[in-house]
Structure 1
């Protein structure tokens, strides 16, 4: 077995993985990685990418370019035109990103709208969004609907796109911790998504139906960029946390990107159901069918 495979096996050990990615100074390490990944020096870039390839199976064959100035440039790479066909069917919400499907199912009818981050680890949509009037209204609209957790790994394409023709009406940025969001941490840290840095994207489909998209940051990636908001949302952000906006997107249009890789939560009101292929553990690509409007 080569060294790369041996290191990957060690990283997959749950106890070791949890210690290495959580029982560390998460905020400081994340700030350092944000600085280090942007260093534009060929020696730093090449050495960093060599280490990255040791732990992941990154595939750059679909990238728009394979020549990068820094590790960060590779993280946020664009894809070749046509690399991600978008499901064109009306009533189908396409996946906003490349991901592995995590917990998914029905949103609870209880006042807080219970959902799950992993089996046996519930959290409330009300805790995820906060207690302002807009958040409360969204919780009421989504109660009894459907949700899906989409986990991006470090080697994946890190940009996210509109799952349907929609309007982004408001962004609520919520600062927080930088726990890892892999399955190991989700089985150990209660209400993890409610603790981490995140942005609630309040959107509305072309027919007026509300749709909630929540990018959640994590260790090494506590920064996200939105096309409609011209600042980086991260621990250094000191602007308003309530960001009204009015940005229209066609299905498949790019909405933003993570600086590395993390998780996107999608919540729909009653009337939508998960597609047959949307099951825990399933790999899904941006543009593929995620949910459909029940007939």
Structure 2
């Protein structure tokens, strides 16, 4: 049996949420000796470039989570044209939404309706549209930004498991992104509806948004929150952050033309142009 499949299988019986909350307690610890030891070990292990951060001293952060979600210097990530990457990471997959299905990995697809928490009406808006998935590894910058300018219309919390979302698990756990805990953020844009889905994962202790603060963990039921007072965000503006790593799935109602030099598995940076929608520049 391949090690990647074994890694995926052993995750099924694990207490995902308990493990994630325990890790979250350590990540929020303010004991200087402990949080500094965690931060120094992480910087060494993952070769974190602190020169990009507004606070270059990693131990100056009050907690590991504060270090992990550190702010970058204003010029560290230029914002491109058209649809831009919402985060630093790996462009796992991208392409057309075919018959309401998004491509996960070889042999695996998942439905937009399941991704959106069973919302068939929302899923129908994306028939014939496009998607892109960006995986954030532990070493990446962990704030999430807007792929396009948009106005938030609804946020949906969808409960679920917390499988790892790395390549090994993506290849072997069906419906992974529609199975894990997630936040579905629906936006109106100049180019039609857009959904940005923040997918939780193993040891992701919390997901935050700029408009609601920390949202997960919540109870085990779908929660829908509409926004009558507009929340308007520009392309490249911060929209949320992961406390430890995870994945962002973007869905667009219109068919996107992705850049010719992109391929699944490509490394991308926040603000990098991924392509264009009809009527947008790239």
Q: So what's the TM-score if we normalise by structure 2? A: 0.89
RMSD: 2.3
Query: Could you tell me how far 1:56 is from its partner in structure 2?
Result: 2.3
SS in 2 for 1:14: helix
Matched, 1:221 2:207: no
Answering whether residue 57 of structure 2 is matched by residue 64 of structure 1, we say no
Correspondence for 2:216: 234
Residue correspondence of structure 1 range 93-132 to structure 2 within 5 A? 93-108=83-98, 110=99, 113-131=100-118
Equivalent in 10, 26, 32 of residue 36 of structure 1: 26
Report deviation, 1:145: 1.3
Equivalent residue, structure 1, for 2:39: 49
**For 1:54 and 1:24, how far apart are their aligned partners in 2?**
28
Which residue is equivalent to 2:162? 178
- Distance in 2 separating the partners of 1:222 and 1:102: 22
Structure 1 position 17, deviation (Å)? 4.9
Q: 1:251 aligns with which of 221, 229, 235?
A: 235
Q: What CA distance in whole angstroms lies between the structure 1 residues aligned with 2:146 and 2:258? A: 17
- 1:159-198 aligned at under 5 Å gives the runs 159-198=143-182
Match of 1:74? 67
**Alignment match, 1:4:** none
1:83 alignment counterpart: 76
Q: CA deviation at 1:277?
A: 3.4
Shift of residue 278, structure 1, vs aligned partner: 3.1
1:79 deviation in Å? 0.5
Q: How many residues align?
A: 273
- Residues 273 and 293, structure 1, Cα contact 8 Å, conserved in 2: yes
Deviation at 1:146, TM superposition (A): 1.2
Unaligned runs of 5+ in 2: none
SS for the counterpart of 1:40 is coil
1:169-193 alpha-carbon deviations (Å, 9 max, x no partner): 1101101111000010111111111
| Residues 161-214 of structure 1: CA deviation (Å, up to 9, x unaligned) | 112221011101101111000010111111111110001111011x26111111
Greater Cα shift, 236-245 or 146-155: 236-245
Among 24, 27, 32, the alignment partner of 2:14 is: 24
| CA distance, structure 1, for counterparts of residue 160 and residue 139 of structure 2 | 24
Distance 2:140 2:63 in 1: 17
CA contact (8 A) 1:59 1:155 kept: no
Does the residue aligned with 2:172 lie in a helix, a strand or coil?
A: coil
CA gap 1:216/1:222 in 2 versus in 1, 3 angstroms: farther
Could you list the runs of 5+ residues in structure 1 that have no partner in the other structure? 1-12
